C-alpha cells in the first residue's frame, strides 16, 4: 500500500514519511458504532494507550447536541469496564474510560507508529496524521487490512532534511534567499541584490539557486502517492 524500501534506498531509511489517512471505522468496533449512532457529535480522542494485551485506556471529549446521550451509551457499553466523567457542561463532556475492546489501537501498536493526537471521529470517520518510516507505514496498512478497517491515503509526503539533498553552499544560499525575501510575494530582494549580499557573481548565484530549487522540488514530489495508493481498500 505504502511501498517498501529497496536496497538502493537503504541509505535513506532515516527519512520520515508524513501520511494523512481517512479511516472508516466499522460498527463492530464499538466507538465506530457509537459515532455512527450519534452523527451530530464529534468524539475527539485526546489520549489513548494500551493497558496490557487485552485492554486500553482513552481520554475523549464529546462535543455535540446529544453529548449526554453519548455518555450514557458509553456507560452502557459492555466492553467499557471503567468510566469517569471528568467534566460535563451543556453540549460537551470529558470522559476517561477503559475498554477490553481497543481494536482501533491494535494497528498503531502493531506497526510501532506514534499516533499524532488529538484526532476526531465523526459519523464513523476518523482522520489520522502519522509520521514514520515507509516500512512502518506499510505494516500499518497491513494491520488495518487485517482488521477490516477501510482507509484512504489522502496524502503521503517524504520529509527530507535540506542537508540531505543540498550541498552546504546551496543550503546557505537558499536560507539567505528566504531570509531576504527573495521568495516573498511581492519579492523583497532581487537576484542581483542577493548575489551582491553574498559576494557572488549573479550568474553563479542564479545557477546555484536553480540547482538547489531543482533538488528541493524533485525531492518533494518523489514520494507523492500514486492513484492506486489513494483508493479506498
Each residue of 114-147: pLDDT tens digit?
A: 889 999 999 999 999 998 888 888 899 999 999 9
Which segments of the chain does DSSP mark as H helices, in order? 30-37, 67-76, 106-111, 134-146, 162-165, 168-179, 191-197, 202-221, 227-230
For residues 163-173, give the mean pLDDT: 81
For residues 55-75, give the mean pLDDT: 94
* pTM over the 0.75 mark: no
Q: Which position has the grid cell 493497558?
A: 51
- Indicate left, alpha or beta for 90 from its phi (over 0: left) and psi (-120 to 50: alpha): left
CA 8 – CA 27 distance, rounded (Å): 42
Average pLDDT value for the chain: 85
Phi, psi of 190 (to 5 degrees): -85, 170
| Residue 114 pLDDT | 86
Res. 210 pLDDT band, cuts 50 70 90: very high
Max intra-chain CA distance, the chain: 74
Amino acid at each position: 500500500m505504502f511501498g517498501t524500501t529497496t536496497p538502493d534506498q537503504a541509505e535513506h531509511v532515516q527519512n520520515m514519511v508524513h501520511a494523512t489517512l481517512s479511516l472508516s471505522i466499522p460498527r463492530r468496533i464499538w466507538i465506530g458504532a457509537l459515532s455512527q449512532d450519534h452523527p451530530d457529535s464529534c468524539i475527539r480522542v485526546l489520549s489513548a494507550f494500551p493497558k496490557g494485551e487485552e485492554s486500553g485506556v482513552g481520554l475523549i471529549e464529546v462535543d455535540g447536541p446529544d453529548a449526554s446521550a453519548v455518555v450514557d451509551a458509553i456507560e452502557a457499553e459492555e466492553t467499557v469496564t471503567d468510566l469517569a466523567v471528568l467534566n460535563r457542561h451543556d453540549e460537551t463532556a470529558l470522559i476517561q474510560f477503559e475498554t477490553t475492546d481497543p481494536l482501533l489501537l491494535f494497528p498503531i501498536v502493531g506497526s510501532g507508529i506514534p499516533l499524532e493526537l488529538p484526532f476526531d471521529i465523526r459519523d464513523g470517520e476518523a482522520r489520522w496524521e502519522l509520521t514514520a518510516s515507509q516500512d512502518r507505514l506499510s505494516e500499518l496498512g497491513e494491520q488495518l487490512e487485517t482488521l477490516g478497517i477501510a482507509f484512504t491515503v489522502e496524502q503521503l509526503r517524504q520529509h527530507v532534511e535540506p542537508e540531505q539533498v543540498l550541498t552546504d553552499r546551496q543550503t546557505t544560499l537558499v536560507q539567505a534567499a528566504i531570509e531576504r525575501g527573495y521568495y516573498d510575494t511581492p519579492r523583497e530582494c532581487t537576484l542581483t541584490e542577493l548575489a551582491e549580499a553574498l559576494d557572488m557573481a549573479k550568474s553563479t548565484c542564479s545557477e546555484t539557486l536553480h540547482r538547489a530549487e531543482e533538488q528541493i522540488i524533485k525531492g518533494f514530489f518523489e514520494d507523492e502517492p500514486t492513484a492506486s495508493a489513494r483508493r479506498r481498500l
